[in-house]
Structure 1
């Protein structure tokens, strides 16, 4: 069965490697002939640059017909492609998108998501939005609290882009250490006065452990989830029934199908100790750290494909290996030019 992974982040290469030796013939497409995910696939072709929306979807449908693709896991334009599932199905192609276009866009807009989030599942830090220097100052005044740091981030963004913890005064030691995710309140005001802002979040900075939970679900049913705690050398794979239950409820609440991720950070409990996980965001895509979770014995892409094709034996899914400390070594691979354009 021919499975196509379309233009996506580098972590897609790890998914392709995890599928080697399976019953699936692995295809990958990308607009960059030197991208690492192409080197990990058995068969590749290039995507045209600049196509978006329905134009991209129409091109992809035609490419699947030309190459005999039967299953597609899209990266680029996955939100818009959710509206094309029937057209792909009519052509004999199963298109695996995480959820409806509206649901995906809802999760992507962090301010909308937080307003709608059910805090009975997990609490959230105190937060508000701003889109100008004036509303930034108002937001700071409303959230400022003794011994609580504030942080900012865009309402839409990936991989901590635009995230900064605000310091009351500039910190030379922080600068010399190379702390990239901090800035002074004065610098933030200067920056936010310099031009038109997108919608931004201002939040209480929680000081406890940060966790990333990688999940795979099919039609709202959680198949497996791996909880990994960040910090120090590598990451710790934890046994956290509370976060697994949260993963089950998230899968059902949004009807998710695919590999997704949510982020938590511990905040104060009733005793004032930072032990209560708070929801930060849900990403309807594979995380950049999925490789760590796959080291815990979970083949995320294989579970997804087997569920989509109706051959998954749920009773035979291996358990998650917890208590592991996982790290990774970068590996260089040689990629031939002909393979990139085949």
Structure 2
């Protein structure tokens, strides 16, 4: 005799008098509790999937930190390279008092306790990346920040031009030329090769003095150019992004045109097959249609001839009834005097 299966039981305690814990079947559990637990597990799995890069075992590597005197344009998601090969990405750049702390992840690469970090220029538009030079005897502790003594920031070309302009502007070119002239007069009794060297220095100082305004203008224009390029960095980035969108749209349109042509070829093949399969039926139908059109053409000719013959009759009837409520009649040739005018003339002189 079949009956309800017994519940699984696990004894607690010892002996026959031990307490027994009965496990409820899954279908008898509270569906609300089961739904909440299932939703929590699904949310945890989804969160872990979206943030798998930050997981310690299956993530994207170990996270380190380094101190820099300035960020130098380094941003989140910029590359981390060792010997030119990408080994990770920058995860965060934050300000810490008078310096910045850069957090970065490294995967499948050895980082020693003497490792140096340097921010380098990646593109002409100002994109940067973090370069590592791993050295040391032991592995770098992720909890210890790489100090500023082992980090380097790139030299800014704009600041270099600004410093050059300030330095060149502070030079007294007239006094420099006078100093070289005095030096030349002092050593005028020196050997010939020294005199020529001093004369060359004098000519150089005069040349520099005469080109002072041009040099100042050149440095000013160079400063303006570098400033304009620096301010247009976002515009360049937007231009490249728009160009990428344009190419993507053109590729999408190309794919649409390709699909249209492919569909047209398939339609032509289907129509060709349809005509080939129904060639006999279509031929007979076209022949019958030709016969019908011939019959209609003959009937049309007969109707046109009938109308041409009926026109004089209806014209005479109209003339007979056009003078009132009676019918006019006319007999030609009733008397001999009018017979000649009613007799039709035959070509050749006969009647």
More strand by share: 1
More helix by share: 2
TM-score, normalisation: structure 2:
0.20
